[in-house]
Structure 1
Amino acid sequence: MATVHATTMAPTKLELLTGWLPRQPWYRGTGTPELSRAGGFRLDDPAGEVGIELMLVTDGSGAEARTYFVPVTYRGAALDEAADGLVGTSEHGVLGTRWIYDAEHDPVATAQLLAFVAGAVEAQHQSRSDTRDPTVGRSWSGDGEPRTVKLVRVPEPGQPGTATGAVEVDWTRPDGSAARGVVAVVR
């Protein structure tokens, strides 16, 4: 299981996402986002090289707060084939420079998300080392192994999965209440 370091990152994840998020076609806000953490989980890279964090963040800058699913990966070197998905770089207090990618562009993250849906790996707590997160739900009713995943970037509370497989998570709304919905559909 991956170690979650209690350290600093400069710039922080939310600072990087504040600049990156408005450039995404699925972003529904206007202007500069005001981001806060809303939930998430981690998946382990079996090789121990790539950090995989599947975050939910809430943008409170508009008239109505909106939650986004922004899974990212952390790497110790640039991944040329994922250049289009580069969120930015950050200095990690323990590990040094990290290249942070939108996980949709990272083959390790995609493989681990499919393995999670298939039941081959477990979801890990977002901020605690060596701790499973049993609240992350998965379903798979297909024949064989899941092959493709589509991220639900703007999840809606209570929206049931209609695909052959799905990943469901909890997040916290700006008013402090809990929400749960699908963040990925799998076929």
Structure 2
Amino acid sequence: MATIHRTTLEPGKLELLAKWLPEQEWFRPGGGELVRAGGFRLDDPAGAVGIELMVVADGRDAYLVPMAYRGAPLEGAPAGALIGVSEHGVLGTRWFYDGAQDPVVREELARLLRGEAVPQMQGESDAVDGSVAVAPVAGWAVPVVRRVLEPAGGPVAGQVVAGYTAPDGSALRAVFVADGRS
């Protein structure tokens, strides 16, 4: 299990995302300042990549941003995959990548969709996040990340749902789906 360090991160995740998100074609500008609104972590069995699925909101919209943190640049990373570089107070330089484009994150999401990985709390070491609902599928699964949150509801087969409450009080969900199941 990953260890959560109580330390500094310069620039912080929200600062990195505030620069990266406006460059994404699916982002709607003009909603205001970003705030952390929820999410969860997954553990890389090899222990080399940090994985966080973060929900950020800007007062109008909420976005699901899967992120990978690495101790070195990702070889062969697609253009636009790098969110930014930050200095971690314990681990040193970290390269943050769009998890939808990172092979380790995609594999762990697939394992989660098959019921083989356990969602972890964002701010606690070795703590299961019981607020994340998983409706696993058997066999092969390719995760698809939907970037904008949807109205609340429970998962159906092949979905992972993390809840979020919008600023207006409505319940929303971050949804990951399996595509190409066999």
TM-score (norm 1): 0.88
Q: CA deviation at 1:144?
A: 2.0
Match of 1:112 in 2: 108
Identity over the aligned pairs, expressed in percent? 50
1:171 aligns with 2:164: yes
CA distance in 2, matches of 1:155, 1:53: 16
Match of 1:55 in 2: 54
1:30 aligns with 2:30: yes
Tell me the secondary structure at the aligned position of residue 80 of structure 1. coil
Q: CA deviation at 1:161?
A: 5.6
**Residues 70 and 134 of structure 1: CA distance in aligned 2, closer, same or farther (over 3 Å):** same
CA contact (8 A) 1:22 1:30 kept: no
CA contact (8 A) 2:112 2:118 kept: yes
Match of 1:74 in 2: 69
CA distance in 2, matches of 1:121, 1:95: 24
Note the 1:14-25 alignment, pairs <5 A: 14-25=14-25
Counterpart amino acid of residue 158 in structure 1: A
1:155 aligns with 2:149: yes
CA distance in 2, matches of 1:139, 1:92: 35
* Structure 2 segments unaligned to the other structure (5+ residues): none
Q: CA deviation at 1:4?
A: 0.8
CA distance in 2, matches of 1:145, 1:134: 24
Q: CA deviation at 1:160?
A: 6.1
Tell me the secondary structure at the aligned position of residue 63 of structure 2. strand
CA contact (8 A) 1:87 1:102 kept: yes
CA contact (8 A) 1:170 1:178 kept: no
**Residues 23 and 159 of structure 1: CA distance in aligned 2, closer, same or farther (over 3 Å):** farther
CA distance in 1, matches of 2:135, 2:29: 31
Counterpart amino acid of residue 101 in structure 2: H
TM-score (norm 2): 0.90
* Structure 1 segments unaligned to the other structure (5+ residues): none
Match of 1:185 in 2: 177
